[in-house]
Amino acid sequence: MKRLWRLFSLFLIIVLSGCTILNSGNQTPNMYIEMAQLTEEEENILQLSEPEEKCYLYDFYLDDTVKTIQINIYELIDEKWENTLGGETIEFEDSQGRAALILDNIGFQAYLQNEDEFILSAYYLEQTEELDYYMASVLTSLQERKEIVYEQEIPLAIQIKTTQDKIHSYNVDFFFKPKLYAQHDYEHVYAITILFSPRSYDDLTFHSKCLQKNEAISQR
């Protein structure tokens, strides 16, 4: 956990060092999320992180109807993504912001930044000898600009943990084809997604609960 907080401190330094989230002159008609364009100074700060830690920064641009952002952590179970590690629905009404993902062997952290504050979501895996010492870990993350469509999940990262010698890694877009991962019988596969919505916090959380209830009924 100390490593994660250490990397968060580095992320905080990056933002406070004068990084301003501004849209470039390349206007596009669609809302989108993309990897943050860091200055050389910011890149150097990130190099201070330890090798086992991974940090990914994304800038996103929205319209003025956004009200909430939802971050979810999934685990692949029986050929399906299950929200076993929970998620976070956050009120967010700014037209632009920055997201940071921090990952290592003990868990995940996601930070959102708008003009006024940081918002934290943290998820810690059960620390077992199997996970920490004997499993290889491969992680793929979103690299290209991705259009934002309200209430459609965008996969940001997929992590595979396994004792197998050979690991097949796929683009994060294959999040929507979980059976592709399941066919390899990896011990653990995790996915992190982000979703933007014009719904209010209460409306979106109620909507999510209804979807989960309907899915459970359909599986009976």
What is the model's pLDDT at position 122? 61
What is the model's pLDDT at position 5? 46
What is the model's pLDDT at position 196? 95
Sign of CA dihedral 91, 94, 95, 100: negative
What is the model's pLDDT at position 52? 54
How many Cβ atoms sit within 10 Å of the Cβ of residue 52? Answer: 11
Say if strands 32-35 and 87-91 run parallel, antiparallel, or are unpaired.
unpaired
What is the model's pLDDT at position 16? 42
Q: Rounded CA gap, 113 and 17, in Å?
A: 14
Element (H, E) at 102: strand 96-104
- Sheet harboring 118-124: ordered strands across? 118-124, 107-113, 96-104, 54-61, 32-35, 146-147
What is the model's pLDDT at position 29? 44
Q: Which residues of the chain have pLDDT under 50?
A: 1-7, 9-10, 12-22, 24-25, 29, 210, 213-220
For the entire predicted model, the pTM comes to 0.79
What is the model's pLDDT at position 178? 95
